[in-house]
Structure 1
Amino acid sequence: MSMELHDIIGYPAAFLTTAAFIPQAWQSWRTRDLSGISLPMYAMFTMGVALWMVYGMLIGSLPVFAANVITLLLSTTVLLLKISQQYRQP
């Protein structure tokens, strides 16, 4: 079974862009310090990732869909931590 060129490019691209969020999510979870993160930016980013996930599903692209499922979980974690931090501060 040979892979198509778009899959040969898509899988590493999906892996790299998804893996790039792991350090941020881990650091945010571990330290609970999200002072350097913009709430509007992360909210828009998370919505964009959700739309990319749906897009990947609609076009039947496993790399696009799978990467965005994982990235959505990571970015939602950071977003929820940021929102909870925002409302805890006086």
Structure 2
Amino acid sequence: MDENVLGIVAGVLTSVSMIPQLIKVIKSKNAEDLSWVMIMVLISGLSLWVWYGFIQNELPIIVSNAFAVLVNITLLICCIMYKKKS
């Protein structure tokens, strides 16, 4: 298998992995079970992958991780909006 195809497939799968969670949170307007710390750590790691992708000039790494950053930032915003005030 071509290594670029492998990278693209891996990137697509990891990038879309949080979309079902995002859809569930948006539909239910409930983010009580989400850890904002975990989301922040994930966004940080994904952002570093984007940076690494730019350094290595690897488009599959850049695109897939940038998309994942956007999905997780959206999830973090929902987490902030939908967490019940205690």
Q: TM-score range by the shorter chain?
A: 0.7 to 0.9
Give the match for residue 42 of structure 2.
Answer: 45
1:89 equivalenced with 2:79 (yes/no): no
Cα-Cα RMSD: 1.6
- Superposed displacement of residue 18, structure 1: 1.0
1 CA distance for matches of 2:27 and 2:54? 32
Equivalent residue for 1:55, pick from 40, 49, 52: 52
User: Whose Rg is larger?
Assistant: 1
Q: Sequence identity, in percent?
A: 24
- Deviating runs (4+, > 3 A) in structure 1? none
Report the TM-score when normalising by structure 1.
0.83
**Alignment-mate amino acid for residue 10 of structure 1:** G
Gaps of 5+ in 2: none
Question: 1:5-40 deviations in whole A, cap 9, x for unaligned?
Answer: 320210110111112121111112222211111111
Bigger relative contact order, structure 1 or 2 (CA pairs below 8 A, ≥6 apart): 2
**Alignment-mate amino acid for residue 69 of structure 2:** L
Give the match for residue 23 of structure 1.
Answer: 20
1:13 equivalenced with 2:10 (yes/no): yes
**Alignment-mate amino acid for residue 89 of structure 1:** K
- Superposed displacement of residue 63, structure 1: 0.8
- Superposed displacement of residue 57, structure 1: 1.6
**Alignment-mate amino acid for residue 65 of structure 1:** I
Gaps of 5+ in 1: none
Structure 1, 71-80 or 49-58: larger mean CA deviation:
49-58
